[in-house]
């Protein structure tokens, strides 16, 4: 019975992985193969088509099957994956080398910024390429392609606030149907031109690259489009586990993608004019319109997965201290990971609309696509080297052998994609640089603010000795004072004593700290130190995947249960106003940006799940 339950769970997780993990890479056949020939640099003949198909097949094999499945997915951070989890692992592995750790943190955070740039391009190119299938149905549809695309995208982003809990299983079934359909669609064309199967041999890719090295270098940027979305295998590992993701890839996704790409190649051999849009041209006339609808649905699902990933990445980035607190809404009572962040949602929508209206066609967007994703893959490979060398303690020759081939492949694709910089590649890079500047400004600003507060800080034990030498009036109940630095006097306590001239019977001096691991076990979240006379120092630890819930975490401390009555407990917070000051360590314009972000951050009480009717906020001004 247990064995049957395990198999059922594996099947459900595998189906879920098909719907969420493989949406992006699964819709690449809509535009990847046609972009190789759309530039006109390459003649359509058997040698060239076989070489290109071999490049497609072995790119999928090397980057997805070998790099991500065989290597990167082994670097799990307590079961979690993704660039933030890998960054935490890498930085922890070299923690004895602060300079190297700082370099890796900078590299990783820039990779996160690039991921958000990808989050703008992916929905735009995916949905637009699907709707462009209407051109095959009738040329009269051309004027309506952009409005339909924008309407679909608007509906997608507006629907985010309702969450995707009810749609999860539907996504899996729909994408499984999509993969089966696109795989079957390629079979008749392969049967008519079975010579394309020769592309399974890597020597055709090598031969094509050797004979046409200049054109091959240019076309690598288009070939790379077949693996956009591959990083989702690692990013979503925490949701599904490695085995379901691997099973879905080898049993369904990889075979169906191969059949479709080879089918497109066979069609182009039979009809070179079909290279204009081989995906839709390979369909029977009666199936074109249903396929446009199915393709649009598939691209919406692919976009949904990336948007959900952007919400999760944002939450992790906040927890690691690179973004201010943002309003985070939960869309499922069962799954804590299903969240909605309004600010991120509308920012992504604005970027997507800008991308669609600026580039207007999927071919133009393909020029913008690739640079950010290929650079993320380079960063992933670099970080993985430090994990396996310093974290796993493997020998240097083995580490170099395990990562150098992947790094060479990644750098080749990145270099090829750089050729598209002037044609649109600047768009996601510019967005990534702007976002990185925001992330770095927030991190640097918080560091400088903490330094400023430490200069003016007062030692807590010494302060309490002075207070209790001539004690103020003690009132019933418990006060929880939140402090940024443990062992120092919270400014909220100073304000409370100054204005109310009273001290509660029980006082907790609480510091909330985020760690560079995904989750902290509930039993290890809290550290309590008694200061005597009804006072305690308390530290709460949260991982970057944890939900910061202060009352729930405090309830785990047995020594505090007698004093933490929800009806008599109040939470005191300091609401600081940052005042930019000329001539400080950070440029004035960055200080102003930090001040604005600090002012716009959501309330700490909401972020920490404090009860609204028990929170007291006391404000103060701080010069940077």
Domains of the chain: 2-444 (1.20.1740.10), 458-623 (no CATH)
Confidence (pLDDT) at 618: 72
Please state which of the ranges 159-168, 316-325, 361-370, 385-394 shows the lowest mean pLDDT.
Answer: 159-168
pLDDT band for position 337 (cuts 50, 70, 90): low
By the 8 A CB rule, do 34 and 277 touch? yes
Structure tokens at 176: 């499984």
Please state which of the ranges 9-23, 273-287, 323-337, 399-413 shows the lowest mean pLDDT.
Answer: 323-337
Confidence (pLDDT) at 133: 85
pLDDT higher for 460 or 454? 460
pLDDT at 557 over 80: yes
The whole-angstrom separation of Cα 520 and Cα 312 is 17
Q: What is the DSSP letter of 80?
A: B
Pairing of strands 473-482, 339-340: unpaired
pLDDT at 3 over 50: no
Each residue of 134-176: pLDDT tens digit?
Answer: 887 778 888 889 999 999 999 989 888 876 555 556 788 889 9
In sequence order, the 6+-apart residues with CB closer than 8 A to the CB of 396 are: 389
pLDDT higher for 555 or 8? 555
> Chain-wide mean pLDDT for the chain?
86
Q: How many Cβ atoms sit within 10 Å of the Cβ of residue 482? A: 25
pLDDT band for position 40 (cuts 50, 70, 90): low
Element (H, E) at 430: helix 426-455
Each residue of 511-539: pLDDT tens digit?
Answer: 998 887 778 887 788 999 999 889 999 99
pLDDT higher for 382 or 518? 382
Structure tokens at 386: 């430090």
Percent of the chain exceeding pLDDT 70 equals 94
- Of 393, 421, 303, 308, nearest in space to 82 by CA: 308
pLDDT at 347 over 80: yes
The order of strands in the sheet holding 535-542 is: 526-532, 535-542, 502-514, 473-482, 569-579, 615-623
Please state which of the ranges 98-107, 234-243, 475-484, 490-499 shows the lowest mean pLDDT.
Answer: 234-243
3-state secondary structure 339-396: EECHHHHHHHHHHHHHHHHHHCCHHHHHHHCCHHHHHHHHHHHHHHHHHHHHHCCCCH
pLDDT at 7 over 60: no
The whole-angstrom separation of Cα 132 and Cα 123 is 14
Burial level of 217, CB count in 10 A (0-12/13-18/19+)? middle
Instruction: Read off the pLDDT of each residue in 56-83 and give the average, rounded to a whole number.
Output: 86
The CA-based diameter of the chain, rounded to the nearest angstrom, is 96
pLDDT band for position 506 (cuts 50, 70, 90): very high
Q: What is the DSSP letter of 105?
A: H
The pTM of this model reads: 0.82
Percent of the chain exceeding pLDDT 90 equals 29
Structure tokens at 2: 């247990």
Confidence (pLDDT) at 336: 52
Instruction: Read off the pLDDT of each residue in 494-521 and give the average, rounded to a whole number.
Output: 86
Instruction: Read off the pLDDT of each residue in 321-325 and give the average, rounded to a whole number.
Output: 87
One-character DSSP codes across 263-320: HHHHHHHH-GGGGGSHHHHTS-HHHHHHHHHHHHHHHHHHHHHHHHHHHHHHHHHHHT
Element (H, E) at 156: helix 145-158
By the 8 A CB rule, do 42 and 274 touch? no
Please state which of the ranges 3-17, 112-126, 564-578, 591-605 shows the lowest mean pLDDT.
Answer: 3-17
pLDDT at 1 over 50: no
Sign of torsion over alpha carbons 9, 295, 154, 349: positive
């Amino acid at each position: 019975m247990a064995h049957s339950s395990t198999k059922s769970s594996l099947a459900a997780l595998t189906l879920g992985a098909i719907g969420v993990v493989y949406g992006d890479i699964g819709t690449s056949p809509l535009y990847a193969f046609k972009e190789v020939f759309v530039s006109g640099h390459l003649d359509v003949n058997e040698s060239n088509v076989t070489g290109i198909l071999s490049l497609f097949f072995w790119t999928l094999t090397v980057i997805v099957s070998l790099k991500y499945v065989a290597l990167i997915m082994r670097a799990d951070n307590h079961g979690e994956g993704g660039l933030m989890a890998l960054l935490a692992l890498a930085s922890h592995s070299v923690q004895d080398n602060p300079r190297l750790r700082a370099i890796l943190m900078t590299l990783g955070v820039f990779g996160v910024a690039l991921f958000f740039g990808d989050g703008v391009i992916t929905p735009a190119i995916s949905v637009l390429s699907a709707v462009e299938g209407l051109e095959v149905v009738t040329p009269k549809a051309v004027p309506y392609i952009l409005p339909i695309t924008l309407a679909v995208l608007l509906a997608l982003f507006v629907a985010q606030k309702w969450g995707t809990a009810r749609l999860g299983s539907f996504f899996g079934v729909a994408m499984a149907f999509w993969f089966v359909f696109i795989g079957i669609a390629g079979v008749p064309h392969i049967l008519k031109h079975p010579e394309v199967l020769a592309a399974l041999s890597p020597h055709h890719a090598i031969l094509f690259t050797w004979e046409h090295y200049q054109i091959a270098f240019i076309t690598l940027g288009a070939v790379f489009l077949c693996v956009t979305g591959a990083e989702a295998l690692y990013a979503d590992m925490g949701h599904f586990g490695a085995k379901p993701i691997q099973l879905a890839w080898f049993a369904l996704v990889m075979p169906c993608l191969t059949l479709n790409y080879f089918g497109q190649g066979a069609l182009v051999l039979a009809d070179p004019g079909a290279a204009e849009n081989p995906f839709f041209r390979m369909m029977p006339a009666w199936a074109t319109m249903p396929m446009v609808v199915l393709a649009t649905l598939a691209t919406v699902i692919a976009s949904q997965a990336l948007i959900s990933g952007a919400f999760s990445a944002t939450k992790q980035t906040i927890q690691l201290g690179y973004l201010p607190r943002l309003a985070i809404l939960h869309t499922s009572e069962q799954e804590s990971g299903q969240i909605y962040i309004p600010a991120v949602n509308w920012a992504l929508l604005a970027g997507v609309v800008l991308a669609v209206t600026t580039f207007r066609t999927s071919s133009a967007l393909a020029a913008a696509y690739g640079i950010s994703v290929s650079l993320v893959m380079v960063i992933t490979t670099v970080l993985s080297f430090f994990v396996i060398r310093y974290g796993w303690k493997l020998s240097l020759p083995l580490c170099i052998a395990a990562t150098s081939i992947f790094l060479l492949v990644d750098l080749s694709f990145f270099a090829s994609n750089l050729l598209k910089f002037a044609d649109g590649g600047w768009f996601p890079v510019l967005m990534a640089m702007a976002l990185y500047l925001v992330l770095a400004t927030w991190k640097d600003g918080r560091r400088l603010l903490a330094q400023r507060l430490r200069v003016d800080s007062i030692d807590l034990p010494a302060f309490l000795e002075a207070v209790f030498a001539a004690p103020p009036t003690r009132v019933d109940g418990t006060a929880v004072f939140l402090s940024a630095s443990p062992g120092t006097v919270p400014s909220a306590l100073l304000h409370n004593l100054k204005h109310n001239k009273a001290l509660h019977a029980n006082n907790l001096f609480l510091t909330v700290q985020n760690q560079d691991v995904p989750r902290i076990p509930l039993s290890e979240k809290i550290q309590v130190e008694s200061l005597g006379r009804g006072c305690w120092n308390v530290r709460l630890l949260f991982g970057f995947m944890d939900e910061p819930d202060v009352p729930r975490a405090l309830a785990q401390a047995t020594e505090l249960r007698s004093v933490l009555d929800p009806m008599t407990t109040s939470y005191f917070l300091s609401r600081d106003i940052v005042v930019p000051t000329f001539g400080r360590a950070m440029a004035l314009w960055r200080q102003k940006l930090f001040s604005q972000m600090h002012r716009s951050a959501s309330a700490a009480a909401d972020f920490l799940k404090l009860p609204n009717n028990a929170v007291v906020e006391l404000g103060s001004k701080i010069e940077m």
